[in-house]
Amino acid sequence: MTKIGIILGSTRPGRNGEAVARWVHEVAARRADAEFEIVDLLDYELPVLDEPYPASLGNYTRPHTGPWAEKIASLDGFVIVTPEYNRSVPGALKNAIDYLYAEWNNKAVGFVSYGSVGGTRAVEHLRGIAGELQLADVRSQVALSLFTDFENFSTFKPADIQHATLTTTLDQVVAWAKALKPLRAA
């Protein structure tokens, strides 16, 4: 069975991303074409990148890197739930991504973002990062507005259209994750 990780890309106290990731998981769990799980960066307690060697060498020396590498390696694709901080990616998410290399290769990734302009600028940056990591990013993206998909900027209440967009994003991530399987096997 294809395994997709829903990466919760914010570690900020009171983060909106937790409700968003749960929503993604609730919608995804109704599907029969893949297994989905939430992967919360808080569970991995990764300090600012402290590996002495480039991730592309796969020579991990720190004890906290191993569990993170094993989790990402065990998955066939990802849906990254990300806020937009200062027109870009949250530092904790970028840091977690930078710990690894081969574990990301030849997998699919989709994005669910949120912010004042839907988190689109963070996703623009993540698409470039995905290319460098040999991740196939799908076209469909869920862009949640703090003004229309959250009440008082904190209570998550997605507009009806967001469900259809999420379904399309999940369809694409699962299809691409399956299509890339022969490359991962090689």
C-alpha dist (Å) from residue 99 to 41, 54, 124, 167: 12, 8, 20, 30
pLDDT (tens digit, 9 = 90+) per residue, 87-112? Answer: 999 999 999 999 999 999 999 999 99
Instruction: Show the domain range for 91.
Output: 3-185
Beta carbons within 10 angstroms of residue 158's beta carbon: 21
User: What one-character DSSP code corresponds to residue 85?
Assistant: B
| pTM for this predicted structure | 0.98
The structure tokens listed for 172 are 């694409």
Q: How many domains does the chain have?
A: 1
The string of DSSP codes covering 114-139 is EETTTTHHHHHHHHHHHHHTTEEEEE
Condensed to tens digits (0 to 9), the pLDDT of residues 150-172 reads: 999 999 999 999 999 999 999 99
> What CATH number does the domain containing 64 carry?
3.40.50.360
Burial 107-118 (b: 16+ CB within 10 A, else e): bbbbbbbbbeeb
Report pLDDT for 186: 84
Name the nearest CA neighbour of 23 among 106, 61, 79.
79
The CA distance from 167 to 12, in Å, is 27
Sign of CA dihedral 168, 127, 38, 185: positive
6-41, pLDDT tens digit by residue? 999 999 999 999 999 999 999 999 999 999 999 999
Across residues 50-58, what is the average pLDDT?
97
